[in-house]
Amino acid sequence: MGIYYFLCCKTCETAIDLGKKIAKKDGTLVMQGLFSEEGLKWLSGDLVWIAVQSFLQIHENHELIFVSDENLPEVHTYENTEADELLKGPNKGQH
């Protein structure tokens, strides 16, 4: 259990799951990453940025929020965009 964080598009009711906040040794909070259903593991580093920028481009000019499921419980009814799809990059003209 715990509180999970999502980058959501409220326009499309779509979200990506960025996992929990994890405290590093120095106290800095970092996100868990992005879960890959294909790899059955949390992605981190450059792969997350590639996926996030794909999500941002697909949802350009839409209402994007970063939110926890504690503050937006209905995020669980949103369509969950797969990390593996995002890693293929946005299609031209997909807005």
Residue 49 per-residue DSSP state: H
Question: Does the footprint of Zn ion cover residue 11 (CB under 5 A)?
Answer: yes
Query: Does 52 engage in binding with Zn ion (CB under 5 A)?
Result: no
- 49's tokens: 């940025």
- Judged by beta carbon, residue 31 or residue 56, the one nearer Zn ion is 56
Which CB sits closer to Zn ion, 12 or 21? 12
Q: How far does Cα 24 stand from its chain's mean position?
A: 20
Beta bridge partners of 78: none
6, 35, 59, 83: residue in contact with Zn ion (rule CB under 5 A): 59
8 binds Zn ion (CB under 5 A): no
Query: Following DSSP, what letter does each residue of 61-78 receive, concatenated?
Result: TS-EEEEETTT-GGGGGS
**Interface residues toward Zn ion, by CB under 5 A:** 9, 11-12, 59, 62
